[in-house]
Chains A and B, each alone.
Chain A
Amino acid sequence: MRETLAGTGDLVRLGLRRDRWLLSLWILAFAMMSWSSASAGAGLFPDKANRIEAANTINAAASMVALFGRVYDPTSLGSLSMIKYTAFMTAAVAVLMVFVTIRHTRADEESGRLELLGGGRLGRNAPLTAALVISFGASLVLGLLSGAALAATGLPAAGSLAFGLGWAATGMAFSAVAAVSAQLTTSARAANGMGVIVIAITYTLRAVGDLAEPGPSTLSWLSPIGWNQQIRAFAGDHWWVLVLPLALCVALVPATFVLRARRDLGGGLRQERPGPARGALAGVWDLAVRLQDRMLVVWAVSVVVFGVVIGSLASSVTDFLSSPNAQDLIKKLGGAQALTDAFLAAEIAIMGVLVAAYGVSAANHLRSEEIAGHTEALLGTATTRTRWATSHFDAALAGVALLMLLTGLSTGVGAAFALHDGSQVGRVTLAALAQIPAAWVITSVVLTVFGWTPRLTAAVWGLLAVFIALGEFGVLWNAPQWLMDLSPFQHTPLLPVGSDGIGALVALTATAAALATLGYLGWRRRDLTA
């Protein structure tokens, strides 16, 4: 035991040193978002009647239940205020923990850093143990801090603790899932992908399970994200449910060490098969597509599934117009006028932001390829800088456009069936296409930063997070208008609600083009750096 764990402490210290900014910023962000949401809830739903009205509306709308889950105690302010956080933001916590765990396991192994350290006095199980110590610890701190933030807004202490421990336990469960996936694949990218797919599946399981009447069906109980909802913080505080994610950890962690013991350093469980001896890649464009296509396929499948589900829920929105308050709430959540349109517009806007995240991640290939030294090999040939950068940038832009088209078509088809109205396909697709320019703007920012300050390329993720936070909380925070206006997503017309906005779309596209041009200028005049 002592032998296989030698050096774990040193690795934990090294990991915390590497992640001191990444982890503390993300943990703070989650705690702050919890605090914001709880404080906002207190203002939005001041009295009991108000809450019951809002909670019943959410519980009655299948679309809301599928997306966020049920409010289990309509009289509880905490239960209602945190409705977006019990499932949706919990999935975000899970994604963070998957990334952190893979970063310290497979990513280090793939890059050869672990080999360098392994030459020292390091036990075979030390790296995996250290990674789990870091991600379990981060989950615990994230959960407890968020719980404390909730209690600080005046919500009941017991419920706040239950909520925080829910996030902590769920984060730990998905860290364990990621630790398993790190043993199965040989690349960090694939391991991250596998973790995210598990999160998506568990999210969908609970969405379908929650829709069952009267309460959650077995399907919700099969999902760790469903468990987090069933803790029912602020609505009875079912403490015993916390046992489920912890039991999953107890089952998965030993399995991970068994898997690790059965494979070589750097290897996966699957043997590497020989590939083609001759290549069909004709140029940098083919290469960019080859490097980006797997991720694009995963995204495409996800948006189509999401789109069909959301679209088919469109009819349920109008089923529950019992009270003026209900209408008011959905208008607040959506945008304007017709409720179905407001609902579709809101969902498509969410998809627009998510697909923008795809654009940022795809465009980040520019920097990751340069750091890896691949760009040096390519620029040593007759390939020009512009041509190489264009290949990745254009592939990112095309991916964004394709994903929004698929979102529109799938949501439209779903809505057309639900509302028995074939014209929905065209309207909804158009609404989705209108999201493209804003996503292109943020994708182009990656190229601009890459061209001028390459070391900050990954910081565009932070910018995207700020834009998302402004969209979500800007009004509640009383953010000044000029700050709100910085976000490209603020300028996208909320179709299919209105029809205005061609001018804004043209302006956004022009902005994207200007940012890209600026990026190319910088890239053509700077040194290659690592």
Chain B
Amino acid sequence: MTNVVEMTGVVKRFGTVTALDGLDLAVAEGEVHGFLGPNGAGKTTTLRLLLGMLRSNAGSIRVLGMDPWRDVATLHRRLAYVPGDVALWPNLTGGEVIDLLGRLQGGQDQARRDALLEMFDLDPTKRARTYSKGNRQKVALIAALATDAEVFLLDEPTSGLDPLMEDSFRGCVRELRDQGRTILLSSHILSEAEALSDRVSIIRAGKVVETGRLEQLRHLTRTSVTADVESVPKGLGSLPGIHDVVVANHRVSAQVEPSGLAPLMQALTAAGLNALTSQPPTLEDLFLRHYGPVTGEAPTGEVTSSRGRPGDA
């Protein structure tokens, strides 16, 4: 399998701030690649470098074998992008924007466009200024998904969507993968990447700190379980795949690997289970546990996405 996206040792500085500090990233052809990281880790900067909107200070970047800085038009004909912060022209309608972006992309599938409008339940006759954040995002998503691109770069595409629409979106992504398209999906939500991705890369402070199939990153997918029980069973800590057990009165909390869930449940059920909550760990939890707190200056890879307004200074 060849790599569609290849970044080696990429450095990007904004003035004195180093947003990307020797980033390596590889996305294989035909995979859905989750690009995970907390806010400000450099996700948006990475995507903008891949699009040739920013110029790297060091390192090499290849997308479909091309240099995204030099071969912009040729490359972008085969690529579709959904920005994280979708800004539309206030007095154009959603339909007009979708068609404009589609034409600039080199044409879109009309039947697919209409089907997507239907699926995302978007009214294309409304002016963009009346759209909510979620609806603006749908405009950009429909425009991108209706094209015949080989590579899709999606920057936190579901951040404004409701759960129902998120589900429709996941369906679209799976469909694209079945057709053999490559998708790079940035997110700060672990569960979203988990639901869609074949592989994930985790970025922290401008560097990719983990990359691989989710099974390989199993240690990252511990579930946080809290249970109220009649009597606390003994020897919970020695069960396989269970970590950080804390017992307080009748309450037990622990971090559990997928393989440890079944034995833990059996033990808890036997102990008379009264209440149970479980939640996937947040990215911040993971980072604190696995990589320690970041010291020194916080990386601000997403400085370019803060939008100042004209004449505000």
Residue ranges of A at the interface with B (Cβ–Cβ < 8 Å): 18, 21-22, 103, 110-111, 113, 186-187, 272, 274-284, 286-287, 290-291, 367-368, 371-374, 376-385, 387, 455, 458, 525-530
Contacts and interface: CB of A to CB of B under 8 A. Distances in A.
A282 B106 CA distance: 11
Given A278-B99, A530-B305, A382 B106 contact: yes
30 contacts: A187-B129, A272-B127, A274-B125, A275-B95, A275-B96, A277-B93, A277-B95, A277-B124, A277-B125, A278-B96, A279-B93, A280-B99, A283-B103, A371-B308, A372-B307, A373-B87, A374-B89, A376-B83, A377-B83, A378-B104, A379-B53, A380-B51, A381-B101, A382-B73, A382-B76, A382-B77, A382-B104, A527-B14, A527-B304, A528-B54
Contacts of A379: 51-53, 72, 76
B126 A279 contact: no
A31 B140 CA distance: 49
Nearest to B104: A381
B126 A275 contact: yes
A380 B97 CA distance: 14
B131 to A, nearest CB: 11
Interface in B64-119: 72-73, 76-77, 80-83, 85-93, 95-101, 103-106
B279 interface: no
B310 interface: yes
Contacts of B124: 277-278
A458 B83 contact: no
Contacts of A528: 48, 53-54, 304
Given A274-B125, A281-B100, A384 B73 contact: yes
Given A380-B76, A383-B104, 17 more contacts: A18-B312, A103-B311, A113-B309, A274-B93, A275-B92, A275-B96, A275-B126, A276-B125, A278-B99, A290-B92, A377-B88, A380-B51, A382-B77, A458-B310, A527-B55, A528-B54, A530-B307
Interface residues of B, number: 53
A183 B81 CA distance: 37
Contacts of A287: 89, 100
B100 A527 contact: no
Contacts of B83: 373, 376-377, 380
Given A279-B92, A284-B104, A530-B306, A376 B76 contact: no
A371 to B, nearest CB: 6
B104 to A, nearest CB: 4
A458 B311 CA distance: 8
Nearest to B309: A111
Chain A CB count within 10 A is highest, among B55, B311, B312, for: B311
Contacts of B125: 274-277
A66 B125 CA distance: 47
B85 A279 contact: no
Nearest to B101: A381
B138 to A, nearest CB: 14
B99 A279 contact: yes
A530 B73 contact: no
Contacts of A187: 90-91, 129
A455 B92 CA distance: 26
B274 interface: no
Contacts of A272: 126-127, 129-130
Contacts of B52: 379
A64 B125 CA distance: 51
A282 B103 CA distance: 6
